[in-house]
Structure 1
């Protein structure tokens, strides 16, 4: 499976329009720190490409990839930074006279319907609580703590032929032992870590920081770890002395699993 990082930013993206910190100013100038809201493009031989989340930067992300249509998407939860592009996508489907299918756990789709009651005319929805297939991969969602923001879902991918496993967990914190179970034996973990070290009280937080992410990586030892959902606290110009198997996601970065 080929993974393309369409976006690697937190809910506000970088630069933040109101902010003149050094990271946001650099993002405006050279763009090394420019980040769009978190989203992946998944591609598997013999299958149509599939999005993982569809945030408000969807249109620009599609343009940068030279894509005019994608026929399916997985959703992690119904927060705006993960579903804000659905209205534009639905409108594109209307103009193209096509439909595209959304896959997510039932409670996530229920929230999407509540916010956009008309959207299923162009983006029909399929519940995937029990898992689904994508080529030779099985995809299984599992519910995770999202701190002050309630819940999100992470996704576990397993290649039935090779046994390769990887996971995407963009919005989580304080995972319970049961919620950590799918992290064992992974070739790749994509984990949301919004700050280098977040100094706010735990009851006000919603996503791991990089320090906590490294602790989680040390606990489960995936072969490779990529930190995403990065805020303007993270500066790609800084050497954070990350272990060799850990790196920061970058816009447009591609890798094969």
Structure 2
């Protein structure tokens, strides 16, 4: 299983358009980018590949990274930085299977799968497949399980992707606070690689209108506001799940420049062979 991090940034990416903060300036100087979130998973046994989330930077990512066009895809939730790139497949693909959760979201009155259908009804070459959380399905020769995470007010899902022949496992936290349920954690546990969202360091919580949450024993917040994990929370999640490798993604430009490119924060283009 070959995993390529196509996009490791949050909703604005780094560098952020029109921003001259020290972190964005440092990213430009280093030639480093964190475009909007997306992950490419290639099953080298079958020659098929799976895309997790459709970044608005889809075109740029596939032009700059050495990865094949996906045979299937998964949508974790309906925020624009995870779904709007689906429009890029217009005239590009003859057919694409798109998998998404089937639970009706009280906030929208429809499931993620339903939203994909309605929002992209003009894409007659995609087939949307409803998937039930905690029920494993197979695509591209890989076993995939969606699990609910915590990203109010919308329903959002993390996922585990496992090669049934080699046992290689990738887990993705999804956009979430640290308060992921034990049932979901059990599915995500023991991955070779965990991609955990870490939008800001805990020190930034003091600038959020409601601060942080899910404090550790030293009073450090593992959740930023109500929707995302801090760096410290994401690292703790990796330890909780006994991940062999944890890389932090969905990273914002609000990290101080001296911290923004330190380990284990990921940048676009990282590749992992599992």
- Is TM > 0.5 for Structure 1 vs Structure 2? yes
Task: Give 1:35-184 correspondences, 5 Å limit.
Answer: 35-44=34-43, 45-65=45-65, 69-93=69-93, 98-106=94-102, 107-119=111-123, 121-129=124-132, 130-134=135-139, 136-146=141-151, 148-173=152-177, 174-184=179-189
Root mean square deviation, CA, Å: 2.4
Measure the CA separation in 2 of the matches of 1:216 and 1:65. Answer: 28
Gap runs ≥5 in structure 1: none
Structure 2 CA distance for partners of 1:114 and 1:251, relative to 1, 3 Å = same
Which one is further off, 3-12 or 83-92? 83-92
**Contact 1:186-1:222 within 8 A present in 2 as well:** yes
Deviation at 1:150, TM superposition (A): 2.4
Q: 1:163 to 1:46 in 2, by over 3 A?
A: closer
Residue among 198, 210, 214 paired with 2:235? 214
Residue number among 254, 263, 267 corresponding to 1:233 in the alignment: 254
Displaced runs of 4 or more, over 6 A: none
CA distance in structure 2 between the aligned counterparts of 1:193 and 1:255, rounded to whole angstroms: 19
**Structure with greater helix percent:** 1
Aligned length: 246
Q: Cα deviation per residue 1:35-56 (whole Å; 9 max; x = unaligned)? A: 1011111111213222111110
Q: Give the Cα–Cα distance (whole angstroms) in 2 for the partners of residues 254 and 241 of structure 1.
A: 17
Q: Cα gap change, 1:25/1:50 in structure 2, threshold over 3 Å: closer, same or farther?
A: same
Q: Is the 8 A contact 2:117 2:128 kept in 1?
A: no
Unpaired runs of at least 5, structure 2? 103-110, 214-224
Q: Deviations over 1:220-247 (max 9, x none)?
A: 32111111111102367538886xxxx2
Partner of 1:223: 244
Supply the distance in 2 between the matched residues of 1:182 and 1:70 (Cα, whole angstroms): 24
Contact 1:170/1:229 (CA < 8 Å) preserved in 2? no
Determine whether 1:248 maps to 2:265. yes
State the TM-score, normalizing by the size of structure 1.
Answer: 0.86
